[in-house]
Structure 1
Amino acid sequence: MANKTFPEGFLWGAASSATQTEGAAEAGGKAKNIWDYWFEIEPERFYQGVGPAVASDYYHRYKQDIQRMKDINMNSFRTSLSWARLMPDGEHVSHDAVTFYNSMIDEMLAQGIKPIMNLYHFDMPLHLQQMDGWENRAVVDQFQQYAQTAFDLFGDRVKLWTTFNEPIVPVEMGYVNDYHYPCVFDMKRAVVVAYQSMLASAKAIQAYRSSNQDGEIGIILNLTPSYPRSDSEEDVRAAHIADLFFNRSFLDPSVLGHYPEDLIDLLRTHQMLPAVHEDDAALLRENTVDFLGVNYYQPRRIKQKETPIADEASIMPEHFFDPYIWPERRMNPYRGWEIYEKGLYDIAINLKENYGNIPWYVAENGMGVADEERFMDGSGMIQDDYRIEFYEEHLKWLHQAIEEGANCFGYHVWTFIDNWSWLNGYKNRYGFYRVDLDTQDRLLKKSGLWFKDVARNNGL
């Protein structure tokens, strides 16, 4: 028997996305998304020249893969629809895509695996990005149409939906860094993308509820607690600004229906407020989420900005704070990320105390490691004890938070099988199953056996 038992009906599963697993990039008339296009024009940017064309070939192997989920006692799985696959021209629905997604959903249900379906995971259709993507309100309206189409097609069986996965990432990586297409360095445009992503999410929620669906709809946010170096006013203020930019800019409108006033004041001071339409406030206020998915990998440690802002015209988030290296930190050297399990507990308590104890689940938690072949035993199984330890420590803190009243209903890891990861390709592996890129064979890792027991026992 588990000595740390989780609530009855707790969701044990994994997360993934269409572009990172499906492959079949041109099958069934699928249109290009920004990743297909970017790899086509700049393949040298991608680790070992591996693009999304094949990925983990889930499009062709989903039935066997869903059986593998069942084999390790997963009772739920979150993935995404590909907008470019389902509606290649933005208006008409692909019969082949509907057949694929219907069959996938039906197979999951037949195996007793609850589907959680996400609408957008970094994969803007190329023709919409050529219209300026989330900077264009017409694309926001097209997203609502796409969402309505998905609900009409699949809502009879999918009862948990999410609008976006990590909407901060395309903003941060594509508009203030160059790790996602379109590689723009413009904070003001980044703010517009962030704001209109939230409008798109609200419009999808509006469509869901107006069509009398009988499930629930939420959003998945990567929440990174911002810890100040010290209790000094300057450090605390710097951490607060980091929290505003990277957490509350999406958390507050999604759950509370409005933006923090101090974020609005900060943007106004630096002439970065987006254009706001008269009915935007009501749209956000009236279309908050039913639940949250929370992705947690690492904390953010912050100290006051030590070098003044030199150029007001090119303000970026890091102009307001500096990162701080905590002397006691432990690192995952392969990703360059700090491992801090208590951060998950702190997120849980924050949601309980400041966000109405909204229902939520851990939508991603994982440890990426390179060159895992080093840990393969004679039978071909990777002995990934480091991953088991990572999960166990996070689950202990999560269990404590639930014992203290946190309203958490599930734990999903990233990810089920090794998958393609944007510019990093297959450099770092996360899966319970290893994927051989030459043969596409799947091999269970030790962490998969560990998870099988945890899910069966509903606890540690």
Structure 2
Amino acid sequence: MRKFPENFFWGAAASAPQTEGAALIDGKSPSTWDYWFEKEPERFFNQVGPKDTSNVYYQYKEDVQLMQDMSLNSYRTSISWTRLLPDGKTVNQSAVDYYRAYFTELKAKGVEPIMNLFHFDMPMWLMEKGGWENRESVDAFAFYADTAFTLFGDIVKKWATFNEPMVHIECGYLGDAHYPGVHDYKRAIQVGFHTVMAHAKAVAAFRQNKHNDGEISCILNLSPVYAKSQDEKDQEARRLADLLLIRSLLDPIVLGSFPEELIALYKETDLLPEMVEGDLEIIANNKIDFLGVNYYQPLRVQHQDNPNLETITPGTYFKGYDWPEKRINPHRGWEIYPEGIYDISMRIKNDYGNLPWFISENGMGVEGEEKFIDEQGIVQDDYRIEFIEDHLQFLHQSIEEGSNCFGYHLWTFVDCWSWLNAYKNRYGFYRIDLDDNFKRYPKQSSFWMKDVIERNAIN
């Protein structure tokens, strides 16, 4: 029996745009996802858009009761910026009533809410002005954050500013999986800098807001980076991948400053973002209280033997490596490497002051999960149980060795809408039947996890 620390946070994670539904009613204005689906519905799996998602807006009481039944003691989701402040300035009372009722219900059922402010759902009114490329976004986000702290700070004591900011930077400005889907590294770096500034100003607002006496964080996807070999070139590729994709956000958010190597590299390649005097001081003075870590799979890299030196991108410095010994999720195509959770833990302990942190997302997506439904309507997801247990073994080991981890959240509680993939892959403890009024059905993993939580231990 491997016991976890007393008062360990056992829970699940989700986001407003992926679960709430009710996307364009009760005063909510469009996000980039609402706009994109209206313009190009064919890009979304089975043409399922963000309008309904998992119907939590109407079924949150049912879900919270299921959380209590499962013995969850914490839950992380997000507030919709476009619901709370449809024009960026005016508070939507319908949103206030909904969120206060939702958060109060969670607390009443013994589930601690951890509330995130931005989960890829950029307001369309701000995107029309340039989104995170526009300096105006920094103060707009800080105002939104301060509004949320004031309205809900008496209920919510643990906050996060952003979920996986590297994703909206990469997928929106170095790829086409998020709107606006452009490929421009300089613009991506500017988006990244404004995101860090928005985070820092939100933390500053949190410190000054008399309505909140809690703690604030940011949630980062911290894939450990492994090199193909011990060869000097492969090791340099690993160092640069870690610098550009991990430390570029982790260092300013946790330590309060950008890595000197990163600044030198951007200066050398004429990619430094535009800044305002005093920006770096704001970042330095507004570090987080705890860290959320999302971990799904590692990043394996090797030397880039044919770099494009004319158009600099992260791919100039490294390329992916397909490890022949990898264990794969056959339903999703991602590597399963639970050892990575231990390496992340030790890095936070040894390099980042051993600040408090928790696994804010971990999980496996499965396409066609309905084929595992038994006669009682329960998904027999032994693969998910094995996945969770393997990761918890390494997480427990890291805690035993002094890592300051206080919780584990699975992505997600009920199956959720997943951006362009919609409901192609299922992740939840509970299955949602889209053809039967979003009815919830437990998966076998929900019963297994209930036992783990109640024992506060794994075998």
- Class of the TM-score when normalised by the shorter of the 2 chains: over 0.9
> 414-423 vs 136-145, which deviates more?
136-145
Match of 1:33 among 12, 27, 31: 31
Q: Residue 98 of structure 1 aligns to which amino acid in structure 2?
A: V
2:191 is aligned, of 190, 193, 200, to 193
Q: Give me the TM-score of the superposition, normalised by structure 2.
A: 0.99
Q: In 1, distance between residues paired with 2:277 and 2:233?
A: 36
Structure-2 residue corresponding to 1:61: 59
**What is the CA-CA distance between 1:245 and the residue it aligns to?**
1.4
What does residue 398 of structure 2 align with? 401
What SS is found at the alignment partner of 1:330? coil
2:383 paired with 1:386? yes
Identify which of 105, 118, 121 aligns with 2:119. 121
| Alignment correspondent of 1:49 | 47
Report the 3-state secondary structure (helix = DSSP H, G, I; strand = E; otherwise coil) of the residue aligned with 1:100: helix
Q: Is the 8 A contact 2:236 2:303 kept in 1?
A: yes
| Separation (CA, whole Å) in 2 of partners of 1:223 and 1:334 | 23
Distance 2:101 2:18 in 1: 19
Q: Which residue of 2 aligns with 1:158?
A: 156
Question: Is 1:5 the equivalent of 2:9?
Answer: no
Provide the residue aligned with 2:207 in structure 1: 209
Q: How far 1:334 sits from its partner (Å)? A: 3.0
Structure 2 equivalent of residue 277 of structure 1: 276
Q: Paired residue for 2:430?
A: 433
* Aligned with 1:344 (options 320, 341, 357): 341
Distance 2:379 2:330 in 1: 19
- Deviation larger for 216-225 or 227-236: 227-236
TM-score w.r.t. the length of structure 1 is 0.98
> How far does the alpha carbon of each residue in 1:321-361 deviate from its partner, in whole angstroms, 9 at most, with x for none?
11111111011133221100000000000000000001000
What are the equivalent positions in structure 2 for 1:84-99 lying under 5 Å apart?
Answer: 84-99=82-97
Which deviations, in whole Å up to 9, do the C-alpha atoms of 1:100-145 show, x marking residues without a partner? 0000000001001000000000000000011101111111101000
Question: Which of 413, 420, 423 is equivalent to 1:423?
Answer: 420
Residue of structure 1 equivalent to 2:18? 20
CA contact (8 A) 2:12 2:412 kept: yes
AA in 2 matched with 1:252: D
Instruction: State the match for 1:451 in structure 2.
Output: 449
Mapped to 1, the partners of 2:167 and 2:331 lie a distance apart of 20
Aligned-residue CA RMSD (Å): 0.7
- Corresponding residue for residue 174 of structure 1: 172
CA contact (8 A) 2:415 2:427 kept: yes
- Residue 443 of structure 1: SS of its match in structure 2? strand
Post-superposition CA distance 1:16-65 (Å, at most 9, x none): 00000000011211000000000000000000000010000000000011
State the distance in 2 between where 1:193 and 1:334 align: 33
The answer to whether the aligner puts 1:83 opposite 2:71 as a matched pair is no
* Structure 1 residues not aligned, in runs of 5+: none
- Residue in structure 1 matched with residue 297 of structure 2 by the alignment: 298
Structure 2 alignment gaps of length 5 or more: none
User: Is 1:366 equivalent to 2:348 in the alignment?
Assistant: no
- Name the SS of the counterpart of 2:29 in structure 1: coil
2:292 maps to a residue whose letter is G
| Equivalence for 1:258 | 257
Alignment: residue pair count: 456
How far apart, in 1, do the equivalents of 2:307 and 2:361 lie? 36
**1:382 Cα deviation after fit:** 0.6
SS in 2 for 1:227: strand
1:144 aligns with 2:142: yes
Paired amino acid for 2:244? F
Identity of aligned residues (%): 55
1:158, 1:78 → 2: CA distance? 11
Moved over 4 A (4+): none
Larger CA deviation: 348-357 vs 374-383: 374-383
SS of the residue 2:328 aligns to: strand
CA distance in structure 2 between the partners assigned to 1:266 and 1:453 by the alignment: 50
AA at the equivalent of 1:28: D
SS class of match (1:98): helix
Alpha-carbon distance in structure 2 between the residues aligned to 1:334 and 1:201: 35
Secondary structure at the counterpart of residue 338 of structure 1: coil
Match of 2:457, SS state, is coil
SS of equivalent residue, structure 1 residue 331: coil
2:137–2:194 Cα contact (<8 Å) kept: no
- Alpha-carbon deviations, 1:199-249, whole Å to 9, x = none? 000000000001142100000000011101111111111011111111111
The 8 Å contact of residues 415 and 429 in structure 2, kept in 1 or not, is answered as: yes
